[in-house]
Amino acid sequence: MTLETLLPQLKFNSVIEDAVKQKIIKSRRQIEVIAETAYNSDNFAFPLCKRMPLTRLVVVVYLLLQKYADYKAIGVTDEIILDTFRDVSLRANLYYKQNGKIGISKDDVIWFRHIMNVHIFKIGVLQYQTFNMIYLDEETIGEPYMVFTQEQKLALPNGSPVINCHIQKGANISAALVNESIEQAKVFFKDCFPSIEYKAFLCYSWLLYPPMLNMLSENSNIKQFAKYFSIVGECNDSEQAKENLFDYGKHNPPCKPTTLQRMAKEDNSILGYGCGVIML
């Protein structure tokens, strides 16, 4: 695999792909040097965050070539590797729509640490991250963000190996595709990480907030998705929900509002954040 063969498979917007190509052609040595220390940090203050948006994107694309070999080394198929890497083009395409600029945000750079650490995998319609269980409550993080029962924490102790589920913006979470993804993920993690006994799938998401779910019809994809999980914690933090429902950006005007958008505008108290688990 080379950068020249990898780039077309990432499925960028054509304008973005052309800009990335030109930047690599003109500044390849500079990109190589920046890439050497791009993610050198014990916290989220990665040196790459200080670069311009296009440079951030090109360096991440450059690093994907190294990560390709790392993913192959643990037995991941090309299909899953490329699907995983396409999160870069998804976020770059969104950044372009929202800002009218080519590149990625600092938050995107920080998020891609999961790829750099070979900790995240796109399997079907969902992303899965190797993780250790954490309860976002007063006992664990020092503030009562959520409340969990002692029964739940005994069943799945803090620090237990879990598989953290993520839903990309715009993902098709129809019941059949979600079910297929979860079943494939069960096999994948047993095959690629045979020495780790994962205890559960974990999902912290605005899609799992009970007051919102109670307002949705039974055939809602969101409601069907939530049924896979036992919802064990919740809070009224609506930030993630608002970002996903209303973050259009000045270069990406809204289309006709969905039923959920209309309901949320009428009563934003239905928006929040939930924690769900699927025990294995």
Low pLDDT (below 70) residues in the chain = 247-255
* Residues shown for the chain: 280
Same domain, 194 and 268: yes
Q: What is the CATH number of the domain that holds 232?
A: 3.40.630.120
- Provide the pLDDT for residue 251: 46
Same domain, 103 and 135: no
- Provide the pLDDT for residue 253: 53
Whole-angstrom distance, CA of residue 59 vs CA of residue 40? 13
Same domain, 161 and 264: yes
Q: Which of 81, 96, 116 is the last residue of a domain?
A: 116
- Provide the pLDDT for residue 42: 84
CB neighbours of residue 165 within 10 Å: 25
What residues have CB less than 8 Å from 225, skipping those under 6 apart? 167, 173, 175, 178, 207
Contact 123, 246 (CB under 8 A): no
Strand residues in the chain grouped as ranges (E) = 120-123, 126-132, 161-166, 200-205, 230-235, 273-279
Residues spanned by the domain of 221: 119-280
Mapped onto helix, strand or coil, the DSSP state of residue 222 is helix
Q: Which of 71, 94, 116 is the last residue of a domain?
A: 116
Residue-wise pLDDT tens digits, 227-240: 999 999 999 999 99
0.85 surpassed by pTM: yes
Same domain, 82 and 171: no
Same domain, 181 and 50: no
CB neighbours of residue 137 within 10 Å: 19
